[in-house]
Amino acid sequence: MITLLSIRRDVSKFRVWNYSVKRIMSVFTETVNPITGACDWEMQDDEYDFHQEIARSSYADMLYDTERNQKYEAAIKIAIDTVHGFGKEANVLDIGTGTGLLSMMAAKHGADRIIACEAFEPIGKCAEEVVEKNGFASKIKVVKKRSTELKVGVDLPYRFNILVTEVFDTELIGEGAVCTFNHAHSELLESDAIVVPNSATVYAQVVESELVSNWNKLRDFKFGQQTSIKIPDFINNCAGAAAVHDVQLSQLPLQSFRSITSPLPVLKFDFSGKTRIREREESVVVFKASVTGTAQAVFMWWDLVMDPFSQITLSCAPYWAHPDVKVDISGPEAANLIPWRDHWMQAIYYLPSEVPVQQNHEFSLVSSHDEFSLWFSVTSSMRVQDDGKFSNKPICTCGLHLSMPRARIGCLNDTLRRKKYYRALQKKITQDTICLCLSDLSLLSLMAASLNPKKVYYLDTNVIFTKTLEKIIEHNNLQNKIQIFNKKEDLLSICDKVNLIVGEPHFSSSTLPWHNLQFWHLATQFRQICSDNVSMIPYKVVFSGLVVQFDHLWKIQAPLKTVEGFNTEPFDKLINNAIDLSDNAIDAQPLWEYGCRALSAPFQVLQIDLGANVSVSDSGFIHCLKKGTCHGVVLWADWCLDDLDIISTGPLDLINEKLVWDKYTKQGVFFFPQYKTVSHSNKISYLSLFQHKIPDVSFEFSLS
């Protein structure tokens, strides 16, 4: 299904300041400079919002999913042949038609009447163009409404006997699948209608994993044998947030987790209409722990049974649990054994309490869902299924999970980062130090205070996090060392004695690596007031690049041209035009989840002295070192705390030619408009510019 709800995860709420769009008409849109945080108004095309919605509904990767497409088509053919076998007309309702692909498959296989509905009007119009271009205009009617707004006798001449739809997300039911199917059976379909897909099964695997748990629990800060910062129990005993953490689980190293259970089928959704799908439901599965350890999280995915005869199954399992993978293999190459899909990933759910388990002892996995979401818990009690008592959805009571994304919690737990910051602070902090911390959602102020400076000031604009931080400060008896300010103006008036400015840097409004130059922007303002001998950590930032070939990520940008033999040019034109008018030239992606291979050596594209207030530019070219398909250039930041310790947000290792990326930050990805095979004779030219007065950062690349 193509819908605004399928917007690619973590899309920025802010336009990138430094890339212009074509200006045609006279509407004003509010823009945010991510470096300064300042709002401004720009004149845009009067359909700017329209184009932006289309561009950010980037779902072309779904249509690149050949397995999905082919299994839908096979199931649609079975449904049509079955209805015709009963001597009836095959009348197909396609809910959430998108490009019209499933409707055209139905037409290809002999459906007698097809009505396709699409709630997002621009895509609905595009579907009409695609349908017409492929010669099916006389067989397929596109209705630009939500399925729940359709009425028999108005939009449909009568109840239909086949439903095809794709209203699923990573969480299966997060796009409103329960309501969609129940309404269709109640109002739009015959009682014996065939539904594609016919059913779904949710699988859960209970695991122990320090890496995964570190995305949810905040750990004590330990340096050597001593604990410098203790995290209070009210944070680590918090049930956390129920929000799904969608992840490409196949990119997790097998050695990073231990399986407490094998994958277990825990929830079944029957879409056939034989029974109404329950809006709230709970199942209890009793299992024996396969190892002694701690149940910390649940890995989740789902399978679709596409047809009523259970002949065709589509699995979203990670490679180690995928029914089609028979080879015992691990490592980065293992992920390529299964179809790649970014629209249906796997998910991590954090247990509200971590449960110690003993090998071969029995426990209960409780799986719950409401109309839009899932949640899980593990208990040692043998609960009886369908006892009428439902587990409550986890609610954060500590504030940490409400104020921080998962990656940020993981970043704060990163041992190597902590050690580097601690070493850098040790070199600078004395009993006479007055320290100013400029970073969002940071514990750097506590780390600095633990080294016994004269005073630490911290600028924090997140009120929820401030309350949590105040309790951590009190728990560590640092109330007299740290003073928190929520407004920059209040801090400006008292910071004249500050002689050390520190930052991670991290800011909540940042999506691309250079957005964290907000640290430079704030520090520049404070330096005008601070002590003459003020020092800075970090003192410079280096932006670097790497020419890469992606295994699959290129599919989120590449035109489709044809899908399963159907011409999709109108769709490509609509999406590409919208991207040109409204979207960013560089995308932010967590590359640890997406396999890629380096085609060049890393190269520096820009270096900025954080203590200076001048514009900087750089240009040059880099030769490709390996033969491959050049998809684009990846950009990241290296923050230099001092001459020895550097915090890199880029590649950390190379395993079998595959790059291993930092798991806690996003990198910038520039995709070339056209991909081509490169070798040693090819080079990439670059031009970079930091303008301090605006301020903004821009990068340009060309391939020759």
Active-site residue (options: 128, 175, 208, 593): 175
Q: Of 73, 118, 129, 166, which is the active-site residue? A: 166
Task: Give catalytic status of residue 175 as yes or no.
Answer: yes
DSSP for 392-453 reads PPP--SSSHHHHS-HHHHHHHH-HHHHHHHHHHHHHH--TT-EEEEE-SS--HHHHHHTT--
Angle at 595 (CA atoms; ends 590, 597), nearest 5 degrees: 115
H-run or E-run covering 545 = strand 540-550
Phi-psi region of 246 (alpha: psi -120 to 50; beta: other; left: phi over 0): beta
| Beta carbons of 664 and 652 less than 8 angstroms apart | no
Residue 166 is among the residues annotated as catalytic for this protein = yes
Structural contact between residues 138 and 174, judged by C-beta atoms closer than 8 angstroms: no
Phi, psi of 665 (to 5 degrees): -135, 165
Helices (H) and strands (E) in the chain, counts: 16, 38
Tokens for 88, please give them: 């009836």
User: How remote is the C-alpha of 196 from its chain's centroid?
Assistant: 28
Measure the CA–CA gap between 453 and 627, rounded to whole angstroms: 54
3-state secondary structure of 284: strand
- Quote the distance between the C-alpha of residue 29 and its chain's center: 26
CA separation for the pair 108, 564 (Å, rounded) = 11
Q: How far apart are the C-alpha atoms of 544 and 560, rounded to whole Å?
A: 31
Alpha helices in 644-688 (DSSP H): none
In 476-614, which ranges are continuous DSSP H helix? Answer: 488-492, 518-527, 569-582
Three-state secondary structure call for residue 567: strand
* Contact of 394 with 378, CB cutoff 8 Å: no
Structure tokens at 45: 């095309």
108 φψ region: left (φ > 0), alpha (ψ -120 to 50), beta (else): alpha
> 302-315: b or e for each residue (b if 16 or more CB lie within 10 Å)?
bbbbbbbeeebbbb
Backbone angles phi, psi at 389, to 5 degrees: -105, 125
Dihedral sign computed on CA atoms, order 573, 578, 584, 585: positive
Catalytic site residues?
166, 175
